[in-house]
Structure 1
Amino acid sequence: MPGQTVKLLKVFIASPGDVMLEREKARDEVLSLRALAHKHGFDLEATGWETHAAPGMGRSQARINQLVRECDLFLGILWRRFGLPTGEAESGTLEEFNLARERYAKEHAPEIMLYFREVHPDFLADPGPQLHKVLEFKQQVEDGRLALYANYRDPEHFASLLRQHITDWLLKLVPDNRPGAPSAQAVEEIPPLSAFAEHLEYCRTELQKTARPLRLRTLTLPPLFLEEVEAERPRNMKVSIAVKTFPRLLILGEPGAGKTTSLKKLASEYAVWRGEGKEPGLNEPEDFNLPIFVDLSAYPTLAAKDSQHGLWRLLTASVRGVHDVDVRKRLAAGGCLLLFDGLNEVGEAYDEVVHHLRHLVHEIPHNRFVVACRPGIYREELRREFTAFQLERLSSFNASKVLEIEIGAEKAQPAWKGLDEYTRDLCRNPLMLTLLADELRAS
């Protein structure tokens, strides 16, 4: 920011060689959080042996240790390998961790975060020397309370945890008198969920009316991302599970595949809230996600008047019965499920909308984001911030059952049996199935 001194915060990544994907994810998360850091007068830089340890004479680990002495945040990542001895410690990661702890004891810096990837039970039965050292080290950390640590399932889960942890750490560094720091009064003024009763009723009723009778279907990985399957990312999962697993979810689907219906179903089912202390629908009672369905096709009209704040205006206008200021407060506090539909319908404003979406996820990071788009429109920029899945076509059986819901079993069953194989396959697309139902209903 002009006229403001920017402080560089260095994030050191320590790990053996079996978590290279996590190292890449860590660097990506640090890079993506720079926008948030800049907003508060900081900058972020990821450091590690592969990018910052210059070649030279002497012990190579000593050059890496210098990066530990300069870092503000220490990230340690371990799975099944502990690493090789350095001459000073059983592994480079352990030597780096010990140095970070020595620094913290003297300087209260760097902040130390450890991450342990979950190990399949088959490996635990006979861990071998490397995994045995990892398990032993983890036990020492736990027993001696040497540092806070988190367990994670896979690289995507790790990235999600890390994003949240770095965000929290970063915001703790913001002094109360720095512009952008929330005041205690502002926190107290966050509107309660009961203030959104009209909006929740709209999601439960009006959005439900315009959604087709489809279940929250299975999402499958787009073929171009198959390398992520090899990284132990699930090949498919239910929409309702995916939205809980990935804080930033991109749903790709061909025309008529059910993208809008899926988002409206999520909004209507997450809107089942019965008051403070009572169990909601898909939400957990202690972590209610307030759903906000946003139709991006309206963006070009709003942006014509205010391109800088067009997405924010559309977002707040999508909440019924609540003042814009209160919507912003709720979004700043977090706990909302933002469902952006129609990215493929913004025309020439596509790049502008993607730019705003990528900034929004860092501006209000304590919310969940789902964006729906056609595969042909989607481009690489969104993949840096979102986890992409693709809507699976209806099975022939499910298509026949949806038809029964639409026009009744008495008419639907003989009609479905009378279709040729080609037409049945076409009707696995929800839009084509809807057209068939309308035709049969009228006949």
Structure 2
Amino acid sequence: MEGGSTASKQMTQVIKIFLSSPADVIAEQQAVLALAEEINDVIAFLSPDLNVRLEVLRYQDNVYPDAGRPQDVVDRQMPKDFDIYLGIMWMRCGTPTMDDPSGTIHEFRQAMKRREATGRPIVMFYFSDEAPSSLPRTTEAISQLAGVMKFRDELSLIGLTMSYPDRASFRERVRGGLLRAVADVQHRPSAVRVDSPDTEASALEVPASIAELARSYDEVRDTMRPGAERTRKMTAIFSDMMSQAPVAIKALERLKTSRSAGERLAAVALLRAFPQEAEINWLADRLDPDVETPFVGYQAATSLAQAVRSLPVEADANLGRTIDKAMALAKRNPNDPPRIHMLEQARQELLVKRRVSDA
């Protein structure tokens, strides 16, 4: 018995990451491979007792030439038991398949089908906002970019999209999301400790980087006309806020109570990066159209959805009540369907989570 126990402790948990993207983001693919190796080295050096190793799956490495349509070959040979799906897009949507606009979109939808049935994999998708050196001029290039934009709009409705400004920043932007996903696979709480409101830490000044992003949000909202371009800029600011979460999390209380909509948005971003059961009721209150703008309310809904994915099953009953409250508040403005749709997605994910935990 003792020998078997020791052997089980020494077994390494392999967390498989399915990397899915068209061919124009090879540099980002290489960044994910390097980041996975870096995380493996850090774990081996600092926490060898975790016995965890990341393994990246790509068709370039895990698929060999075989008879059949290219996507059918990939589907047949790629492992189906991956824990994390990580998608990336920039200017190209990818090569069409028999049933989807591209292989990447096909792989995303297959991952979502399995997630809806089993609760896994964790799904993340990153879109590049880097400007191309020249605008697309051919019919094929324009069609590819149109496919990316349509798919991005589709994913924005379910809160699974993140953006990065350029290739140089991609590695650091994806690092936080990947670490969060690894913690969720292991059902571990966040490694970042958040001090309670009555501690000295809560009185910390808002980091300059967050304050500047909050000012940028307030300026964009006040000076730009409503529309797709303003929403794109505000979404990019929200992504930047999330990337600053580790250095800003101790200022959460100050951000939550700020008179600045930008600083309250930053608090929402921190809770997307580091979900906390104690804060989900505050997030629900952001859905009140008399309290926050639709954009802040929508991002609060995405943070509630992330709480469903990240918090333990013991929080499910509280999450259910909170989502019901948020939905009632959101429906006060029926002319803003994205918030309501996002909450419906969170509710659906909670049902799947409960079904899987009861199985």
Shorter chain as denominator, the TM-score bin is 0.3 to 0.5
Give the helix-richer structure, 1 or 2: 2
Q: Rg bigger for which structure?
A: 1
User: What TM-score do you get using the length of structure 2 for normalisation?
Assistant: 0.48
Give the strand-richer structure, 1 or 2: 1
